[in-house]
Amino acid sequence: MSTEAQIRANQANAQHSTGPTTEAGKAASCLNNFRHGLTGNSFTVLDFEDQDEFDALLCGLRAEHQPATMTESILVAKMAQSYWLSKRALYLQDQAHRAFGARCARVKEDQCCTDEELSLDEQQKQLALFLRYQTTNDRAFHRCLTDLLKLRAEKRRQEIGFESQQHKKAQEARRDAAEKRKQDHHKLDMLLAEAKLNHQELLNCELSFQVTGAPLAPARLQQAPKAA
């Protein structure tokens, strides 16, 4: 427990404080009233982040998944944003953890803390908040990936169904064509057989004419029933 002399000394030192000077202290101070960009509907790359790195991430995901529709492009973009926000939350966790450790060390040594710094309880809540944001965005990334894969699978099933239907129609068309060719061949065979029979009858008529001098009627006409 601090003595009265220590308390007065700390109060005097606080009057001359110019803010944190150590890296841990600066980390704690930079998180005070910080707009972390982990909530809201609009996504943006913050000043302390690298825009080129995010663009490379997005291009890499697009090259990997090759979105073919607007919906697929949206899902890939959300994957990039969710991963980036998860990475941001992890960075802020590290900064909050450093600040929390520095505050604990100063409290343990009875050193004065600036009014701008968050209390231990607030820093703990802040650390837990960033952890929750990391988990939320990790889940959002995997949810978008799952939706993308489901969309691709459904599209492929439809394509397979369409291909199967087209294949079935092609098979039916080939069977119909084969049956028509078979019928056409049968008709041709019948016509050819009839033509051969007619030719043979003509030969018989010619032979009869040469022998008897009188034309012989075709056998089919001879066998025809007489008119009443």
pLDDT at 72: 95
Q: Counting beta carbons within 10 angstroms of the beta carbon of residue 133, is it exposed (0 to 12), middle (13 to 18) or buried (19 or more)?
A: buried
- pTM of the full predicted structure? 0.54
Pick from 33-37, 128-132, 175-179: least confident: 33-37
Asked whether the predicted pLDDT for residue 56 surpasses 50, the reply is yes
DSSP at 216? P
* Range name among 35-39, 128-132, 180-184 with the lowest pLDDT average: 35-39
Amino acid 220: pLDDT: 53
Structure tokens at 59: 């291009």
Structure tokens at 218: 């075709």
Q: How far apart are CA 206 and CA 55, in angstroms?
A: 98
Write down the mean pLDDT value for the chain: 77
The reported pLDDT for the residue numbered 123 is 75
Sketch the domain layout of the chain as residue ranges. 4-170
Are 98 and 117 contacting, i.e. CB atoms less than 8 angstroms apart? no
Q: Is the pLDDT of residue 161 over 90?
A: no
Mean pLDDT of 77-93: 94
- Degrees, nearest 5: CA angle 134-138-141: 140
pLDDT tier at 117, thresholds 50, 70, 90: low
Q: Which of 10-19, 92-101, 125-134 has the least mean pLDDT? A: 10-19
User: Best-predicted range by mean pLDDT among 24-38, 59-73, 95-109?
Assistant: 59-73
pLDDT at 87 over 90: yes
Which of 81-90, 137-146, 147-156, 169-178 has the weakest average pLDDT? 169-178
Q: What pLDDT, on the 0 to 100 scale, is given for residue 216?
A: 53
